[in-house]
Amino acid sequence: MTGTAELGKSRISSIDMMRGIVMVIMALDHVRDFFHNTAQVFNPADLTQTNEVLFFTRWITHFCAPTFVFLSGVSMYISLQRKTKGELSRFLLTRGLWLIFLELTVIRFAFFFNFYYDVTFLIIIWVIGAGMVLMAALVHLSDRMALALGLLILFGYNFLGSIPILTGIGFYPITPNMAIIESYPVLPWLGIMLLGYSAGRMYATGFDAERRRKLLFQLGASAIVLFVVLRVINVYGDPSPWSSQKDGLFTLISFLNLTKYPVSLLFALMTLGPVLIVLGWMEKRSGGILKTVSVFGRVPLFYFVLHFYVIHAAALIMNMVRTGKSFSEIDLHFAKTFGGITPEGGVSLPWVYVAWIVLVVLLYPACRAYDRYKSAHKHWWLSYL
């Protein structure tokens, strides 16, 4: 692999494996969104309606978005091994704008299967793209300034209140029949991206692998301890305090039930702490199932787009079979259905897990083939896909 081979196999493979793991976990959440019979009925984090299995099915997927954004920052710093800051800046600007375009077109259609543009979500690809656009300027900061800014944003942005696009989620009507729903405001996720960029220094050429492994463990453990301390205090770090529940397990669920929209400080600490530890653990591991899932981590955007289309198409077909409706009878407007999916056509949670496993297995050959194509070709446009 030109440009990154000099970083050493363990550095590249650990990042690919980590990204691959969360790509697989991410699919579980999206399969649940489209297949589960309660996905459109209530929030799995609603302690008055959820159960233990459903909550943790949702909770484990919380690790995905912070990992994607953090590793995007890491990859930016690694790119400086083969790019100047000027070259990296230009690439981040163009790729960021490209990702925003994909969110508004290709990925939006995968969600809704319509061209009405009655509703458009601004979610993970949008915020990574917007973050890249901002990072096109911020990569010119010194390493210390980038780290300080990332920490300042993550620990202090809650004091700013809800600012549209930047810090708060919201519903923004464009016309009476068209609106944008923003779930991923830019600023807190930019803080995570900056911290990933700062962590990328540990993957620079010449950085001792054993020292990096120890640092990852230490940083991860510190994040977890800080999360626990702040959560126990129950004063700052998340707008939803925990409370005693009907039993010990539900009290734990309340303790872990943090705010993702917009991402809170405690949410970031809870998720990134274990991710850093796993990254350190994977420094010396590369075979078996980890090698298999790393394929998804090497083609993340391809996998992301493809898996949404496959999930939605499969769920829509199942929904039509279970409800007895033909495609012409389905209303694809967001106010009526979620991409044509209705609760009565859904399945129970065990079948969601079956559908998830089948999906991941089916996607592997396509991702493997694309990975091989990328490895054998050096076309400039492949860096955008």
Residues 6+ apart with CB under 8 A from 221: 273, 277
Q: What is the mean pLDDT of residues 276-284?
A: 93
Burial of 195 (C-beta count, 10 Å sphere; 0-12/13-18/19+): buried
pLDDT score for 243? 95
pLDDT score for 205? 87
Per-position b or e across 118-137, b if 16+ CB within 10 A of its CB: bbbbbbbbbbbbbbbbbbbe
Name the nearest CA neighbour of 21 among 310, 279, 359, 219.
279
Neighbours of 160 (CB within 10 A): 13
For residue 171, the cross-strand partners are 181
pLDDT score for 133? 98
pLDDT band at 80 (very low <50, low <70, confident <90, very high): very high
pLDDT score for 167? 74
Q: What is the mean pLDDT of residues 224-239?
A: 95
Q: Which domain holds residue 80?
A: 5-384
Neighbours of 242 (CB within 10 A): 18
Indicate whether 320 pLDDT > 60.
yes
Indicate whether 6 pLDDT > 90.
no
Contact 269, 224 (CB under 8 A): yes
What is the tally of structural domains in the chain?
1
CA distance 157 to 144: 19
Measured CA distances, 155 to 67, 216, 372 (Å): 18, 20, 41
